[in-house]
C-alpha cells in the first residue's frame, strides 16, 4: 500500500505518491498465478524426457511431449539428451 499526498483547489485536484510503489510486469504477475505444466515423454527403454519450458494447459504439455517423441522417432534434431533421465 502506498501513501499519497492529495492537494485540491475547487474542482481541480492533484496527488503525488510519497512512498515508492513496487511494480510488477503483467506477464510476471500472470505467471505467478497461473498453474504451469511440463510435457513428459516416456520411452520403451525406460527413459523419461521432461520439457523445460512452461505450458499454460495440460493439453499443450501433452502435445509438446508427443512432438518430442515424434521427432526422436523420425531422427530429427532434438534438445540435448542431458534432460533425459532413466527411471
Residue 13 lies in a domain: no
Q: Residue 27 — left, alpha, or beta (φ > 0 → left; ψ -120 to 50 → alpha)?
A: alpha
Q: What is the domain count for the chain?
A: 1
pLDDT tens-digit profile of 22-70?
666 666 666 566 678 888 888 888 888 888 888 888 999 999 999 888 8
Residue 27 lies in a domain: no
Helices vs strands, H then E, count in the chain: 2, 5
Q: Can you give the pLDDT at residue 63?
A: 92
First vs last Cα of the chain: how many Å apart?
49
Residue 71 lies in a domain: yes
Compute the distance between CA of residue 57 and CA of residue 63 in angstroms, rounded to an integer: 10
pLDDT tens-digit profile of 65-85?
998 888 888 888 776 654 555
Residue 72 lies in a domain: yes
Q: Can you give the pLDDT at residue 46?
A: 83
Q: Can you give the pLDDT at residue 1?
A: 62
Residue 53 lies in a domain: yes
Domain extent for 46 = 36-77+82-86
- Could you tell me the three cell numbers for 34? 497461473
Amino acid at each position: 500500500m502506498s501513501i499519497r499526498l492529495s492537494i485540491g483547489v475547487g474542482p481541480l485536484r492533484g496527488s503525488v505518491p510519497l512512498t515508492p510503489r513496487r511494480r510488477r510486469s503483467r506477464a510476471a504477475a500472470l505467471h505467478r498465478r497461473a498453474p504451469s505444466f511440463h510435457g513428459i515423454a516416456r520411452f520403451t527403454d525406460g527413459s523419461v524426457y521432461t520439457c523445460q519450458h512452461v505450458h499454460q494447459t495440460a493439453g499443450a504439455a501433452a502435445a509438446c511431449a508427443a512432438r518430442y517423441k515424434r521427432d526422436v522417432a523420425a531422427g530429427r534434431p532434438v534438445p540435448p539428451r542431458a534432460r533425459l533421465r532413466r527411471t
